[in-house]
Structures are given as structure tokens and as C-alpha cells.
Amino acid sequence: MEESILKISKKEIVQELKIEISKDFKLETYKLVKKRYLLFNDKPIVKSKINEYLEFISDEFSTKGKYKTIIVVAETNDAFEKKELVYFDNIDTLVVFYLVNSDTGEVYMDDSWTFMLGLNYRKYVRSINKIITGQ
């Protein structure tokens, strides 16, 4: 039996979710719904540099107090715990990582329900997971 290789297909995700590029930010970001955005990261997320990446996101997505969720879809070569995939910058941005390790076939995601500031992301993370894994 052939082992399936998990790949992130930006085109497939964008088409399946029927989303378009948002004009709210400089970076190429897709608007899911009000206050929720999808960002595809071209480079693998490195666990030891996650704080640097979070600072970058906080700077790039500054909205001066307007709350939002950024779901980051990327590859990684590291292993993550569920609790390491969700961050709040204590200002206005909730960052949720959906990470794929193509080498091991592992998916790292947090599809928890959150009531925080109307920034729930569960539905979107599950939709992305279904597109990537077929489950």
C-alpha cells in the first residue's frame, strides 16, 4: 500500500474555501470572514524561532486595537504540541498555526473552540485539515 504524502496546496485551499486576497494588509493574506485571515508561509516554521515570527506577524498585522485571527499554514521539520500552536499578542492578534511535516506525515493543529473576542477559528482549521488530509 502506497503511503500518502501530505502537501500544502495553496491553490486548492483557496479554491475549496472560496476565499480571495484581502486588501487589509501588505502581505498576501486571504480573508476567511470578518476578523479572520489566512496566511500561507513559504518557509518552514522553525520551533526555536517562533517568537521572532510572532513579532513579525504582530508588526505586519497591526490594526491598532481591532481584534483579528491569523491562521498560518506552513510546513515544518519540527514537532509541536497543541498548546504551542496558538498565541495571543496581548494587544489585538490571535495567531493559530496549522503545520505540516511532509517528511513524517504529521499534522500539527489546534482546532479548539474559543470564545475569546469573537475570534473563533475551529471551523476554518478543520476545513483546511480536511482539504490537506482528506479527513
Residue with cell 502581505: 27
Q: What is the pLDDT along the chain (135 residues), one digit of tens a residue?
A: 344 577 889 999 999 999 999 999 999 999 999 999 999 999 999 999 999 999 999 889 888 888 999 999 999 999 999 999 999 988 889 999 999 998 899 999 999 887 777 788 999 999 999 999 988
- Domain locations along the chain: 10-133
DSSP code at position 91: S
Residue-level pLDDT at 28? 94
DSSP H helices, the chain, are 10-17, 50-60, 122-133
CA dihedral of residues 24, 26, 27, 33 (deg, nearest 10): 0
Q: How many CB atoms lie within 10 A of CB 28?
A: 11
Alpha carbon distance 105, 8 (integer Å): 12
The grid coordinates listed for 30 are 486571504
Residue-level pLDDT at 4? 57
The grid coordinates listed for 52 are 521572532
Residue-level pLDDT at 2? 42
